[in-house]
Structure 1
Amino acid sequence: MMRYILLICLLVVFSSESMGFQTNLEAIDTLLNNSENVEEKVSKPTLEGSIKRAQDYTILLGKLSVKLGNELDTLTILEDLPIAERLIEVVEGRLENRDQGINIRYLSELDNLLNNIRSQVAVSERRITARTEELISVRTGLDSMRQDGLMKLNLKDPDILPEYQTALAQLRNRISRADSILNAQRVLTAGYQTRVSNMMIRVTEISSALDNERRRAERALLSRDINFLWQPKSYESASNLSEVFMDSLRLNEVILKRYLKSHLGVIVLIFIVFVVVAIWVRNMVLKIKAEKEFAKIIIDRAHYIPKYPVLSVVVMILPFVPFFFTNPTISFTTLLLWIDVVVVTLLLWSGFPKGLFQTWLGFVFIFFVYTVSNLYRDVNYSERWYLLVLSVAGIFLAFRILKFKRNNPEMLPYLITILVKLFIGLQSFSILANIFGRFNLSKLLGVAAALSFSQAIGLYLFVQIVMEIIYLQIEVRKTNENDFTSYIDFHGIQTRVKRTLYGFVSLIWIYYFLDNLSLLDLFMDEGFSFLATERNLFNTKFTYGNILVFFVIVYVASILANNIAYFATIKDQQQGSLREKRLGSSILLIRLGVLAAGFILAIGASGIGFDKIAIVLGALTLGISFGLQTIVNNLVSGVILAFEKPIQIGDAIEVGGRSGTVKDVGIRSSKIQSYDGSEIIIPNGDLLSQHLINWTLSDKRRRVELLIGVSYRSDVDLVTSLIKKRLERDDIMKAPEPRVYLQNFADSAIEFRVLFWVENFDIWVILRDEVMRGIFSDFNTNGVEIPFPQRDLNIKNFPWLKGESIKSIPEVREESEPQDNSDIQGNEA
């Protein structure tokens, strides 16, 4: 095509003087000007313009041909659609068969299957839609070229150059071939689009039917579906349980393979995370064994990680795996539970006593039977008797655990007692439901009890393993004194971390528990409906969801603020001798910053609006003016303390007659650890309004003062030399120089004043004790007397005492004793 265009251009350049060629140009221009296109009539294109337009159309046609070459990926669609169609037919046939009821758990499985089919069909639908839009753009381009006046020229006109006629003919042929390919692609795409649309309609209809079936099954859950236990059987016993098991096994195998294939990327990602964590844990244990002096003692404190690092990582990761998958099927969650229970059993093998481990093995057997029964797609009443036996056996094993707990209260945590009692309660209700003909309810309760108890044990081991990892990581990092983890006291944070972890895993367990009872969807739907319903109060619209989001974010922010302050405080306490390296009262600013950020984020996330918060703050300001002045004063004082930093955590202070070490600088008050062990809570306002003595504000030096008295018979120079000799110690500062002054001539002693400085405030009491003991010992050795208080008593002679002798003490006592009884009675007579 380009060859013909260049030929036409050369002819125009080199033959412009030819009259014949001039006639041809005029003929071509006349034909172009007579085109039906109004726009071209107005623009009156020349031959050169037509050649340029033909060149543009050739380039555009090449691009459209590339789009037509990108055919629809029919191989993937043909691979996925038939499987999805067969599964849809299976579900439709099962719903149409009313001879036997469907397990209520299996209805959820079918719903998950439909959701997966819908997701897969949606992928094909998006591909088809994208291809349709691409074909539409090609059709638009071809139509625009065909409607151009250039394509309506009469190529048989002898006045048009032959080369130009050939080029236009080839362009028209290429457009015609592209149009044929386009039509074929449109027919193919339309066929697949119709097929996919029909599947989406069928999936929607089946999903509605499943919802109706589930609601019917939920309503019938409390109603009697078989005979009472003491009545004759109301169901046929001809159904073969093994056939039901094999049919369910085959169907669950298909569903599981399909589900794993559709989530292969997530599985690979989780496997990579597992490998990385396992390698990290194993290297941590090896590093402790290779580098730590007391490696055996450190390793012995951990029960699971050193012996079973890989299995421990499995227990640590498995509880979170279902949350990475959309609509996990029962077969998939059952597979994860089997792996979890097997790994937990291996971990408990060496740690549990023999009798308790045998009891756990009994639970494992019951768990496996219940999980297999949970995979059945149909309701089979032949399970009634063995489910009843399983419930009784489970209660027996549960009471054995309670007995072991009473005899060995330290071996099992208190949470195990709560879980065992919950298991007994659920199994008891399961037995009652079975006896009174509520088979589906009985099976649901028994399955929920077994699964929930096993999941709780796995989550409990998850907490223990995480605590061991924290402990071992701290021991590993203690080699570097500048590392933050070296400041962490594991035993001090153990309770705090455990409380947080137990709260976290409790939420996960509640989620699993509701799912095991088939109440998760109902709970979520009702909960979201309750939280999302708009309500009015005083012409203000709000939802409980907004309020919940607000308080949750504020609560999380407060937890973060408190934990950050806690760990920073630990670091400051360990850095007590280096005041410039401590965060001190700046921790308060960090807490206020986190709380403020959380508060602002809570307002934005909840949708409450800052205008409404301004109303609340206005009301709060009014309250401050009436009765909250003290609280606000303490709050503002706390901020001032944080900026001015007159006190830091670890400082030794005196305020209001109280002395101690600053332990915490809070938002409203500060905490002081007194030297007698008590904790004093002082409002921040008092720290600013009262006289505050900080012994460690600039440095930790302290002057020690001693007052020592000796008798008047002592050699003053000797006393001075003995005291100065005792002050020649390395822990007593040489500058300022220790001083010994003769202070005072007291009533009974000559008093010396001793002054010296110590570098560290923390040792001044101990150092004063040692110095005074040494001085006392030197005084005794050198005969220096420390006198008792002396008083001179002057007795004056009074006139009425003249001539009377002073009686001795025995005479005074003899006269003061009472007379005998006879003398007393005679006197009375």
Structure 2
Amino acid sequence: MYKYSSTLLYYLLIYLCITSYTYAQTDQTPTDNLLTRVDTSEAPTARPQVSLDDLIRKNEAYTIALNHIHAGLRRSFDTVTINRELPELERTLETVGQRLESQESALNLRYLSALENLVVNFRAQVNDWQSSIDIRNQDLQLLGEEISNIKNDQDLQLALTDTTILPEYQLQTEMLQSRLARTDSLYNAQRLKMARVQSRISSTMITLNDFNEEIDERQTLLERRLFSKETSFIWEKPLLESDKSIRALYRESFTLNEIILGQYFSSNWLRHLFISLAGAGFFIWFVTVIRRIKKEKEFAAIILERAIYIPKNPALSALMAILPLAPFFYLNPPPIFLLIILVFTAISATFLIYNSVNHKAFYFWIGIFSVFLIYSLSNLLVEPAFRERWVLLFLSMGGMLLAYKTIKLLDYNPKEFPKYISYFLYLYIGLQFFSLISNVFGRYGLSKMLGVASTTSLVQAITLYAFVTIILEAIYLQIEVGKSNQKEFASYFDFRSLQKRLKNLLVGLALIIWGYYFTQNLNLWDFLYDNVSNLLNTERHLGSFNYTFGSILIFVLLIWVATILARNIAYFAEMKDQAQADSRNKRLGSSILLIRLGILIIGFMLAITASGIPMDRIAIVLGALSVGIGFGLQTIVNNLVSGVILAFERPIQIGDTIEVGTRIGTVKEVGIRSSKLKGYDGSEVIIPNGDLLSQHLINWTLTDKNRRVELFIGVAYGSDADKVKDILLKVMDRETILKAPAPAVYLQDFADSAVEFRLLFWVSDINTWIVVRSEIMTSIYKEFAKNDIEIPFPQRDLHVKSMPQNNGITFTETKYKRDLSPKEDSDE
């Protein structure tokens, strides 16, 4: 696009000159006797109303404007790219046209699909050229209007009555006329040049439109004949075929595929560069992570053993991480291009799994990969070759046998392989069976399409499984690198919990990729896309409300995405909080709830906007919800509002130890409606947020994690109180007990059976207070035993004054002492 912003000032000056002066009409009085009109066709009495000074300034402005117009025209349209690529495009179209115009050419669906992609890419390229030409023509039109305004200015027909009195002015006028002529000539030359280029491009666009119609017509015809008999039954005598040999067909097919592939490669070099840089980025990432683990981690060998592919071959792992996604970065890639990417992906997967699976499974993979290569080679043919039907027949039988044996191997070792690979193998066997039946009954095209689709889809499924595994390994290794403690190797269960969240996402992405390729291989994508688009975009009516299924789907998808994002962001924030459990100020805590609410609200607003739902309808729904809230949703709304209050006031954080009612534990999650508390007995308690605000809440870690521990120790009467205090203080003099506040011992009470002392001390971590208390009590017991200090048990004195006589025996008053310790039976 050419912009002449530098000339706007001069154009404005021209406009002011033209509009600020008026021309004298033939019946007006002249104002400058030094000027006369050169054009003799007009009446000689007509004298100009422009002065000589005005005319000199106008000539100067026109000269400057012409200089800039001339400079703009000299910056001609860059036709180098068009002149280089357009002849090649025309030669390709000429070759394609010969194939399409040949009545003997029975092109198959695959080749027609390749031609369709080629035409689409050519049309996009030609449209870009046409757009740039249109912009250039608009610029030329503006320049032409300025030139025309200068040429039509009547003041340029004025001259001095005596040319000898002012030769400088005469020279200025001649220079202006000369520049005007040169500029006008250059302008016309540029117009002719653009017209020639535009004519060639318009002719090319017409040819592309004709080809597109021809391809659509042939595709429709072949799709209708797909289930029709094309050749004889397998037991019948073969029908007459084309005189072309298999070798000639392959040679011609390779030539045409080379033309298509060469054109696509040359026109997408920027995308090739991006994919290459992305692959290099993955490789550098993998190598850096491996080196850091080996250098920084004491248990590096254990960490790397958990990854199957990346530590052993980071280069091939990088290819497997980028190649399955590469086709989606290209616009309308031809089938031969997709095939090359899949072949490289399968070869990379072959080398990766060589040492990762048992030899029997690897041999089965080699067999399936070989069948895939033969089918791919056969699929390169641009015309049906009925001579190869026997090859396809044996490929179907061999492929089904390999798949059956692979299923048996998977059943024998279910833990070594993913279970869903069996589903793809069953699908492969089913499609190959229908391919074999179609081949037997003369449906050659259908047979070949099913065989190619089944084999290609199975290979894609296995390579996508390797892709998911590599991405999960990369995330696992990156998490290990990010851990601060170098001597602590990763907890595998932490990775498992993360893997559960990411694996579903990655498997879903892999299934979408596989489904796209599967429908493409069966030539169903366009059919499904058109019908689904029609279903989603058809406007429907419900009373006065107009809607489409597409708008509903967009609304649901955006809400679902917002929910997934909110849930996963909260999960990763909780992981960060757990890693920083010692510092409450660095934790997000209940603020995670605000983040989740913000994501959900933004997602809801985006869903409303994208789906086109009117706000008045939303107001009606909210009004209905308010009625429901008034009748039966008060508790839910109370919990929701309480959650927001908890997020702002932050009385609790994730990781805090709290006590609510009779429940005590660690806060694991602060949700929108409820919060999760993990008790010390392993239970997980769901507490509504309203209860956290309405009940008495004790937060043991609101300010710090210190906790005071209280013990009551009893000694026997007669023990030395000072000695007991010294022993107790000595026992509490240890690192696990804080020095400030200092431990204290108080004589608490004179109980029935003992003198009770009260011990008070502080621990720095509430999670360790039970352990510290146990250590203190154990030490006290040992120290009392060493110093002969008795820890009494409860006793009671019973005095029996008299007993009834029995068998001549008389009981007199006897004094009994009864042990009331818990170890004795209390019955008398």
Residues 197-235 of structure 1: per-residue CA shift (max 9 Å, x gap): 222122112212222222222222233333333333345
- C-alpha distance in structure 2 between counterparts of 1:806 and 1:372, whole Å: 118
**Quick check: 1:68–1:182 contact (8 Å CA) kept in 2?**
yes
Shift of the alpha carbon at 1:104? 1.0
TM-aligned CA distance change 1:708 to 1:806, over 3 Å: farther
- C-alpha distance in structure 2 between counterparts of 1:430 and 1:265, whole Å: 40
Residues 643-664 of structure 1: per-residue CA shift (max 9 Å, x gap): 2222222222221212211111
Shift of the alpha carbon at 1:726? 2.2
Is 1:211 the equivalent of 2:224? no
- C-alpha distance in structure 1 between counterparts of 2:472 and 2:42, whole Å: 85
- SS of equivalent to 2:514: helix
Aligned to 1:703: 708
- C-alpha distance in structure 2 between counterparts of 1:26 and 1:156, whole Å: 10
Amino acid at match of 1:31: R
**Quick check: 1:32–1:45 contact (8 Å CA) kept in 2?**
no
Give identity over the alignment, percent. 48
TM-aligned CA distance change 1:737 to 1:188, over 3 Å: closer
Is 1:490 the equivalent of 2:492? no
Aligned to 2:54: 49
Q: 1:114 aligns with which of 105, 111, 119?
A: 119
Q: 1:732 aligns with which of 725, 733, 737?
A: 737
Is 1:315 the equivalent of 2:320? yes
Residues 82-139 of structure 1: per-residue CA shift (max 9 Å, x gap): 3323333333333333434321121111111111221232233234333433443343
Residues 703-745 of structure 1: per-residue CA shift (max 9 Å, x gap): 2222333444655554444333322333223444433344344
**Quick check: 2:320–2:466 contact (8 Å CA) kept in 1?**
yes
Aligned to 1:129: 134
TM-aligned CA distance change 1:32 to 1:619, over 3 Å: farther
- C-alpha distance in structure 2 between counterparts of 1:429 and 1:696, whole Å: 68
TM-aligned CA distance change 1:575 to 1:131, over 3 Å: closer
Matches within 5 A, 1:295-374: 295-374=300-379
> What is the TM-score normalised by the length of structure 1?
0.87
Shift of the alpha carbon at 1:802? 5.4
**Quick check: 1:111–1:207 contact (8 Å CA) kept in 2?**
yes
Shift of the alpha carbon at 1:329? 0.9
- C-alpha distance in structure 1 between counterparts of 2:521 and 2:46, whole Å: 77
Matches within 5 A, 1:70-85: 70-85=75-90
Shift of the alpha carbon at 1:41? 8.3
Aligned to 2:557: 552
Q: Which moved more, 1:196-205 or 1:121-130?
A: 121-130
Aligned to 1:517: 522
Aligned to 2:154: 149
Aligned to 1:7: none
- SS of equivalent to 1:307: coil
- C-alpha distance in structure 1 between counterparts of 2:642 and 2:189, whole Å: 81
Amino acid at match of 2:559: V
- C-alpha distance in structure 2 between counterparts of 1:806 and 1:701, whole Å: 67
TM-aligned CA distance change 1:281 to 1:734, over 3 Å: closer
TM-aligned CA distance change 1:724 to 1:221, over 3 Å: same
- C-alpha distance in structure 1 between counterparts of 2:697 and 2:72, whole Å: 83
Aligned to 1:8: none
**Quick check: 1:742–1:752 contact (8 Å CA) kept in 2?**
yes
- SS of equivalent to 1:226: coil
Is 1:636 the equivalent of 2:638? no
TM-aligned CA distance change 1:345 to 1:159, over 3 Å: same
Q: 1:586 aligns with which of 584, 591, 604?
A: 591
- SS of equivalent to 2:624: helix
Aligned to 1:410: 415
Q: 1:465 aligns with which of 462, 470, 490?
A: 470
- SS of equivalent to 2:420: helix
TM-aligned CA distance change 1:659 to 1:162, over 3 Å: closer
- C-alpha distance in structure 2 between counterparts of 1:782 and 1:125, whole Å: 105
Amino acid at match of 2:560: Y
Aligned to 2:387: 382
- C-alpha distance in structure 1 between counterparts of 2:189 and 2:722, whole Å: 123
- SS of equivalent to 1:303: coil
Shift of the alpha carbon at 1:184? 4.1
Q: 1:224 aligns with which of 214, 225, 229?
A: 229
Shift of the alpha carbon at 1:790? 3.0
Is 1:31 the equivalent of 2:37? yes
- C-alpha distance in structure 1 between counterparts of 2:277 and 2:493, whole Å: 30
- C-alpha distance in structure 1 between counterparts of 2:101 and 2:36, whole Å: 74
Normalized per residue, the structure richer in helix is 1
Q: Which moved more, 1:125-134 or 1:350-359?
A: 125-134
- C-alpha distance in structure 2 between counterparts of 1:739 and 1:805, whole Å: 61
- C-alpha distance in structure 2 between counterparts of 1:804 and 1:28, whole Å: 172
Shift of the alpha carbon at 1:286? 2.8
Matches within 5 A, 1:249-268: 249-268=254-273
Is 1:782 the equivalent of 2:787? yes
**Quick check: 2:35–2:160 contact (8 Å CA) kept in 1?**
no
- SS of equivalent to 1:461: helix
- C-alpha distance in structure 2 between counterparts of 1:354 and 1:55, whole Å: 89
- C-alpha distance in structure 1 between counterparts of 2:810 and 2:407, whole Å: 85
Q: Which moved more, 1:90-99 or 1:691-700?
A: 90-99
**Quick check: 1:248–1:375 contact (8 Å CA) kept in 2?**
yes
Amino acid at match of 1:527: V
Q: Which moved more, 1:322-331 or 1:186-195?
A: 186-195
TM-aligned CA distance change 1:712 to 1:331, over 3 Å: same
Q: Which moved more, 1:302-311 or 1:627-636?
A: 302-311
Amino acid at match of 2:37: L
Amino acid at match of 1:502: V
**Quick check: 1:758–1:764 contact (8 Å CA) kept in 2?**
yes
**Quick check: 2:32–2:48 contact (8 Å CA) kept in 1?**
no
**Quick check: 1:65–1:178 contact (8 Å CA) kept in 2?**
yes
Shift of the alpha carbon at 1:390? 1.2
TM-aligned CA distance change 1:715 to 1:805, over 3 Å: farther
TM-aligned CA distance change 1:436 to 1:741, over 3 Å: same
**Aligned residues between the structures:** 778
Shift of the alpha carbon at 1:359? 1.2
Aligned to 2:402: 397
TM-aligned CA distance change 1:505 to 1:118, over 3 Å: same
Q: 1:439 aligns with which of 421, 438, 444?
A: 444
- SS of equivalent to 1:111: helix
Shift of the alpha carbon at 1:42? 11
- C-alpha distance in structure 2 between counterparts of 1:232 and 1:806, whole Å: 129
Gaps of 5+ in 2: 1-29, 812-828
Is 1:572 the equivalent of 2:577? yes
**Quick check: 2:36–2:47 contact (8 Å CA) kept in 1?**
no
- SS of equivalent to 1:302: coil
TM-aligned CA distance change 1:791 to 1:528, over 3 Å: same
- SS of equivalent to 2:730: helix
Gaps of 5+ in 1: 1-23, 809-829
Amino acid at match of 1:505: A
**Quick check: 2:320–2:349 contact (8 Å CA) kept in 1?**
yes
Shift of the alpha carbon at 1:785? 3.5
Residues 40-76 of structure 1: per-residue CA shift (max 9 Å, x gap): 9898112222233233333333333334434454544
> What is the TM-score normalised by the length of structure 2?
0.87
- C-alpha distance in structure 2 between counterparts of 1:614 and 1:470, whole Å: 44
Q: Which moved more, 1:734-743 or 1:508-517?
A: 734-743
Aligned to 1:504: 509
Amino acid at match of 2:142: S
Q: 2:632 aligns with which of 627, 636, 653?
A: 627
- SS of equivalent to 1:349: coil
TM-aligned CA distance change 1:738 to 1:156, over 3 Å: closer
Shift of the alpha carbon at 1:261? 0.8
Residues 376-399 of structure 1: per-residue CA shift (max 9 Å, x gap): 211222222211211211111112
Amino acid at match of 1:675: Y
- SS of equivalent to 2:310: coil
Aligned to 1:240: 245
TM-aligned CA distance change 1:807 to 1:433, over 3 Å: farther
- C-alpha distance in structure 1 between counterparts of 2:395 and 2:160, whole Å: 92
Matches within 5 A, 1:90-109: 90-109=95-114
